[in-house]
Structures are given as structure tokens and as C-alpha cells.
């Protein structure tokens, strides 16, 4: 069944939110803050590992780095585009609307939890590659693995940040579902190089999410999302290879 992977991923996020909501009741406020910081540190290390995998290579017996220009150009130009469009503000407005419609108007942390968790579980090569596989061949195994990871991440975030994190299932369903439906059009574009570039830039953005979790909101990560699209485009530019 085409789209089953997206449904599994969305259900896993909802389940993680359900578990995290009830688990969070057993923690005091300072304990929830400690869990939030621990989650942030974990996200940072996961992001660093992904970024280093994309930037470091072994040549003979030496370790060399590359793709620095790719990171600088994609992030700087992507952020300018995102700031002009106002992606972060759109995310927040949707979060505010969702907060009211779901009867959580008094939850001051709802929007931050929703935006932060949505970015954490939506950015990355697994979401795109898995959705393409699901749409083209019906193979949802990649999204099933991602679903397990997301369940854990969302459970932890919900317990420490609030129930807004559980509603990150909505953008994931829309994002992955759209890619699955357009898979046959997107698949030829996602070459091995394009996926590698996307994974690298996605890891850097996830690192920024980790920064916000550990030190409070310092980076407007949603406004950096166009960098992911630019990373795919860069795979077709000869001077970026």
C-alpha cells in the first residue's frame, strides 16, 4: 500500500506524544528541564555525527575535510530566502492556531514544543529517501525504522517540553505524504550526490535545533529550511562537486 510508511511514521509520533505526555506527569519541573537538556545534547551529537560523515573522508592514512563551501553557501543563501519568506513566523502562526483549536490555549510552551519537535523529526534524508521508496516501490522499511526513532524522540520531547511536540505528526504526514505522492517525479532528481548533500545540510540544521534545546531559542531554524533545497540543487553544479 503506497503511503503506508508515512502513516506508520505519523502513528508512531502520536504514540510517542501519548507516552511522553503521561510520563511527563511523574517529573518535577526541574527534572523536565534536565531531560530537555539531555535530549538537546543527544540531538547535538547525532547532528555532529551526520555532518562529519558528510564532510570528512579518509585519503590514504590522512583524514581530510571538504564541502565547507557547500555548507556556507547553502546555509547563508537559504537563510536569506527563509527570512524573506518568513517560514518561522508561518510555523508559529500555525502552531498558535493549532494550540487554540486543540483546546491548549493556556499552554505557553505549546508553540515552541510544536515547532522544535516538528523540525527535529522532519529534517533529514531518511524522511525524503524513505518517502520516495514508499512511493516508487511500495517499500516502507526506511520510514518504519524512522518511525521507531521518532517515537523515542517525541516521547522524550513531549515529557520535557509539553504536548505541543506530539502534534509534530501533522507536518510529518504532510511532508512525507506529499513526497510519496510525487515520488516518481522526485526520484530522478535525488541522485546519490544529492542525497549526500541533503543529509549533510540536514544534519547541520538538526544541530541548530539541538542548540535551541540546550540554550533556549537562539537560532530561527525554520527560516534555514530552504538550505535543504539548495543542497539538492548544488549537487548539479559542477563547481560544487
Q: What's the pLDDT at 241?
A: 59
Q: What's the pLDDT at 200?
A: 92
Q: What CA–CA distance (Å, rounded) separates 52 from 56? A: 5
Write out pLDDT tens, residues 74-93.
999 999 999 999 999 999 99
- Find out whether 113 and 162 touch, Cβ atoms under 8 Å: yes
- Cell numbers at residue 90, please? 508561518
Q: Is the pLDDT of residue 62 over 90?
A: no
Write out pLDDT tens, residues 179-228.
999 888 888 888 889 989 988 998 999 999 989 988 888 899 999 999 99
Q: What CA–CA distance (Å, rounded) separates 122 from 186? A: 17
Average pLDDT over the chain, rounded to whole? Answer: 89
Selected residue with higher pLDDT from 233 and 3:
233
The pTM assigned to this predicted structure is 0.86
Using CA atoms, how far residue 187 sits from 27, 34, 84, 145, 179, in Å, is: 45, 41, 29, 20, 9
Q: What's the pLDDT at 27?
A: 77
Q: What's the pLDDT at 166?
A: 93
Q: How confident is the model at residue 136 (pLDDT cuts 50, 70, 90)?
A: confident
Q: What CA–CA distance (Å, rounded) separates 229 from 161? A: 29
Q: Is the pLDDT of residue 58 over 80?
A: no
Amino acid at each position: 500500500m503506497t503511503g503506508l510508511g508515512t502513516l506508520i511514521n505519523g502513528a508512531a509520533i502520536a504514540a510517542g506524544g501519548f507516552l511522553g505526555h503521561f510520563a511527563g506527569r511523574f517529573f518535577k519541573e526541574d527534572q523536565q528541564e534536565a531531560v530537555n537538556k539531555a535530549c538537546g545534547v543527544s540531538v547535538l551529537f547525532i547532528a555532529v555525527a551526520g555532518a562529519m560523515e558528510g564532510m570528512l573522508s579518509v585519503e590514504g592514512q590522512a583524514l581530510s575535510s571538504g564541502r565547507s563551501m557547500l555548507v556556507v553557501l547553502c546555509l547563508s543563501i537559504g537563510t536569506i530566502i527563509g527570512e524573506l519568506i518568513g517560514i518561522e513566523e508561518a510555523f508559529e502562526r500555525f502552531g498558535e492556531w493549532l494550540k487554540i483549536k486543540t483546546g491548549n490555549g493556556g499552554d505557553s510552551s505549546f508553540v515552541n514544543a510544536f515547532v522544535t519537535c516538528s523540525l527535529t523529526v522532519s529534517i533529514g534524508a531518511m524522511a525524503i529517501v524513505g518517502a520516495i521508496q514508499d512511493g516508487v516501490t511500495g517499500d516502507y522499511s526506511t520510514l518504519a525504522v524512522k518511525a521507531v526513532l521518532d517515537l523515542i524522540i517525541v516521547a522524550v520531547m513531549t515529557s520535557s517540553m509539553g504536548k505541543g511536540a506530539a502534534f509534530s505528526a501533522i507536518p510529518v504526514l504532510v511532508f512525507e505524504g506529499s513526497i510519496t505522492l510525487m515520488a516518481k517525479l522526485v526520484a530522478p532528481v535525488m541522485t546519490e550526490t544529492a542525497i549526500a548533500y541533503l543529509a549533510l545540510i540536514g544534519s547541520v540544521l538538526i544541530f541548530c535545533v539541538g542548540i535551541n534545546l540546550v540554550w533556549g531559542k537562539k537560532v530561527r531554524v525554520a527560516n534555514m529550511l530552504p538550505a535543504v533545497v539548495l543542497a539538492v540543487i548544488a549537487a548539479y553544479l559542477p563547481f560544487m562537486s
